[in-house]
């Protein structure tokens, strides 16, 4: 059972590294798409005929993806959770030595 808890902890640590990476990549892609879309609207072969709002939505989404840590902090405060989402205080939460992730006493 302790191995399963350690494995899930390792998955959570990997997710804490992958989520910011995925959000920043999505922000860059959305920004590039917005710039490309705004440039395409001035061209004769405009792919956004009838949908001129698409590049602007991509621009707003790029800002939302880039500020995901602040959005998560505000959502946690509105849910009355005492949690701060920050990217500069990244510390590993791996278990070393004799410390056990399972609370309580028991035999191994």
* Identity of the highest mean pLDDT range in 26-30, 80-84, 103-107: 26-30
- Long-range own/partner contacts, residues 75-83 (CB < 8 A, 24 or more apart): none
* pLDDT at 106 > cutoff 60: no
* pLDDT at 26 > cutoff 90: yes
Of 62, 64, 60, 33, nearest in space to 48 by CA: 33
Q: pLDDT confidence of 24, banded at 50, 70, 90?
A: very high
10 versus 76: which is more confidently predicted? Answer: 10
Which residues, including other chains, have CB under 8 Å from residue 71's CB and lie 6 or more apart?
64
Beta strands in the chain (DSSP E): none
The model's pLDDT over 31-71, given as tens digits with 9 standing for 90+, comes to 999 999 999 888 888 888 888 899 999 999 999 999 888 88
Percentage of the chain surpassing pLDDT 70? 76
């Amino acid at each position: 059972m302790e191995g399963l808890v350690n494995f899930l902890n390792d998955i959570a640590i990997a997710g804490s590294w992958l989520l910011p990476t995925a959000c920043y990549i999505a922000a860059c892609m959305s920004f590039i798409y917005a710039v490309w879309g705004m440039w395409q609207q001035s061209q004769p072969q405009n792919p956004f005929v009838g949908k001129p709002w698409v590049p602007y939505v991509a621009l707003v989404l790029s800002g939302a993806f880039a500020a995901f840590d602040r959005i998560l902090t505000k959502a946690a405060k509105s849910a009355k959770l005492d949690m701060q989402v920050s990217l500069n205080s990244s510390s590993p939460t791996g278990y070393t030595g004799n410390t056990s992730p399972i609370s309580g006493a028991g035999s191994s």
